[in-house]
Amino acid sequence: MSRDLLLEIGTEDLPARYVRPLADALSEGIGGGLEKRGITFAATRVFATPRRIAVRVEQVAEHQPDQTLERLGPALTVALKDGQPTPAGLGFARSCGVDFAELGEQDGKLHFVRTAPGRDTTELLPEIFADTLKQMDTLVPKRMRWGDGEATFVRPVQWLLCLFGHDVIDIEHFGLGAGRRTYGHRFHAPDAIELQQPGDYEDALRAARVWADFDSRKAEIREQVEREASRLGGTARISDDLLEEVAALVEWPVAITGRMEDRFMQLPPEVIVSTVEINQRYFTVFTDAGYRELLPNFITLANIESKDPAQVVAGNERVVRPRLSDALFFWEQDLKQPLEAYGIKLADVTFQKALGSIADKVARIRKLAEHVARQTDADVDLAERTAALCKNDLVTRMVFEFPELQGLMGGYYAARSGEPAAVGAAIAEHYLPTQHGTPIPSTPEGRCVALADKLDTLTGIFAIGQKPSASKDPFALRRAALGVLRICLEAELPLDLRDLLETALMQQPAGTRDDAMLRELLDFAIERLRAHLVGEVVDGRAISAEMFESVAALGVTRPLEFVQRLHAVHAFVEDPAAARLAGANKRIRNILRQAGGDGSGAVDPDRFEDAAERKLHADLLALEARAAETADFRSRLTQLAELADPVDAFFDAVMVNAEDPAVRHNRLALLGQLDRLCRSVVDLSQLPG
């Protein structure tokens, strides 16, 4: 027999960021607790609003199956001495709650086994709920205590509901006993609702103006916002984060539209978006899906069906007006002087105590950006000018108030100051990429300054000994390293990481700047490249760790070249000859290692004694000549596959460790020549084979 289970925790309004995580934790805790005790069920359903988190578990078994408790104790040699139980044996028996004579033996150890009848689910639910609450506590660093009780939660708990089929489960917590009572919308339907069974929950709350299912409420909000935007002739900008947060703020969503005064529309759209979305949790509206032109409207979600919607609209407009007025004031004040004039203030802003001010950092960025520009298609003068101005907006009023707009505001202020359009665009995007999935800078100058900025931070913080730990990365150095790699790869820049890191490291004013530090930085960057590339699917197959190692073993430090070689070996391993050649190369490396050398001597064809070694040598020379004529790594590996048969024939016919030392050394030199060719594109010995 089975029944549905419903458990709800009713609270004062929860912080939006905790609504879904707490509901998921409740579901996982109850479901996991049932599974742990062997109680079967069909599925779980999560509900979450600002005033409640709940889970409905379908078809929960009414009884726990019989439980078998089994334990292995100490070895018999320890548990018995001269046929009598030792303290260790007696202690194990006491821990099992039985006499020593009742214990058995298994695999040379004391063995205890007992079968106990299963308990009723109703009896187990209180302890499952208590365990779940302990697990949920870890989600909230600061919890509240209220009234005279000692129990804590993220917000005071107002009611508990726990129904197992038609029966109320006797659960007590937070100074409350569970019942069958829940509550609807605070204003539309404040009276208590008596539920008869778990299946009534969602419909009963919907009738009381509570949309309990989080995901469908979220979908409803999106639909309402899009409908309002369409009515305005535009497209709403709906980010996943904002939609998730708004869904956690309302129980009964009602979309309403407000208007911003025309005077605010002179502000850059990012300023308005930041003010309206981040501070007010409103949705902005643009003329099209490309978000090119902002409309003077916003859409917000009321948590009530008002009898006078105009008053609700006016209230929201009244709230957003002073924030936009402040932003307009900052904009107008910042424009009273050109962007270049703000640079003098950077000397008073510390970047890092040991590494100097932001002005010092800008000086380093300028030199490094120029160094990068000379190796790419960027305009050196424009890159240097971008670097000189890229941090000036940090001391403007707008960025002080809206730090998330750094860079973007610099681009706008550069344009208003008469700087070249390329400089403004490069300043605006020099922080890119900011995280996984965001684009790299679109302009050559922007890429140069972005690389310089990230490389300076990376090398400086490493030099002073503050590299990331396993759990902490306060300077986002992993993100900086990945950003450098992505720019090199996605813009197809043939830059050398060793050169870039060394140039940046030598500019640092403090810390360790030796070869060991450079090696550590390179290793750190290669590890980020590994995380970025291993597992990537190319032509329907994932790049493996062995493929990555086959390139990394060669010490390739140009990211673009690294990926070109990696894609070449990714295609090569599909050739049946690849595994044979990889296996042969492993054998060759072992032979050379055992011989105490690397086979670097010259090959003397006159010392060949067998046709197989003559054939292999001739094929090697021909292949080396062909390889010198092509820079395409995939073609070179394809050609290399032709050696599989000659190599197999060589090992079948030739004894490398010949008695004649001259013959032996000549054959080792031939293997050394083959080994070097096998590592001319990738290290084949790293591949399976």
Give pLDDT, residue 101.
Answer: 81
Q: How many domains does the chain have?
A: 5
Give pLDDT, residue 506.
Answer: 97
What is the pLDDT confidence band of residue 589, given thresholds at 50, 70 and 90? confident
| Angstrom distance (rounded) from CA 541 to CA 287 | 41
pLDDT at residue 239 tops 90: yes
**Is residue 541 a part of any domain in this protein?**
no
**Is residue 552 a part of any domain in this protein?**
no
Same domain, 652 and 682: yes
Tokens of 429: 């995007």
Same domain, 257 and 273: yes
Choosing from 285, 303, 334, the residue where a domain stops is: 334
What is the number of other CB atoms lying within 10 angstroms of the CB of residue 506?
11
Same domain, 359 and 425: yes
**Is residue 154 a part of any domain in this protein?**
yes
**Is residue 538 a part of any domain in this protein?**
no
Mean pLDDT of 418-434: 96
**Is residue 559 a part of any domain in this protein?**
no
- Residue bearing the bigger pLDDT, 429 or 100: 429
Same domain, 157 and 41: yes
Least confident stretch, 368-377, 567-576, 577-586: 577-586
Mean pLDDT of 617-622: 84
CATH number at residue 648: 1.10.730.10
What is the pLDDT confidence band of residue 590, given thresholds at 50, 70 and 90? confident
144 bridge partner residues: 153
SS3 189: coil
CATH number at residue 527: 1.10.3210
What is the number of other CB atoms lying within 10 angstroms of the CB of residue 337?
12
Same domain, 502 and 367: yes
Same domain, 397 and 417: yes
CATH number at residue 47: 3.30.70
Residue-range definition of the domain harbouring residue 182: 2-64+120-207
Least confident stretch, 392-396, 493-497, 544-548, 622-626: 622-626
pLDDT at residue 178 tops 80: yes
Least confident stretch, 429-433, 536-540, 584-588: 584-588
Choosing from 116, 135, 150, the residue where a domain stops is: 116
| Angstrom distance (rounded) from CA 594 to CA 576 | 28
Same domain, 189 and 256: no
Same domain, 241 and 134: no
DSSP string for 589-639: HHHHHHTTS---SPP-GGG--SHHHHHHHHHHHHHHHHHTT---HHHHHHH
Chain mean pLDDT for the chain? 92
**Is residue 682 a part of any domain in this protein?**
yes
In our burial notation (b when 16+ CB lie closer than 10 A, e otherwise), range 264-283 reads beebbbbbbbbbbbeebebb
Same domain, 655 and 677: yes
Choosing from 207, 235, 266, the residue where a domain stops is: 207
Q: What is the DSSP letter of 474?
A: T
**Is residue 579 a part of any domain in this protein?**
yes
C-alpha pair distances (Å), 58 with each of 23, 35, 52: 16, 13, 19
**Is residue 554 a part of any domain in this protein?**
no
pLDDT at residue 152 tops 80: yes
Tokens of 329: 């004031």
Tokens of 243: 């939609």
Backbone angles phi, psi at 614, to 5 degrees: -65, -45
pLDDT at residue 689 tops 70: no
Least confident stretch, 61-75, 289-303, 350-364, 530-544: 61-75
Same domain, 322 and 351: no
| Angstrom distance (rounded) from CA 183 to CA 167 | 19
Same domain, 329 and 416: no
Same domain, 525 and 463: yes
Tokens of 56: 């409905």
Least confident stretch, 370-374, 497-501, 545-549, 679-683: 679-683
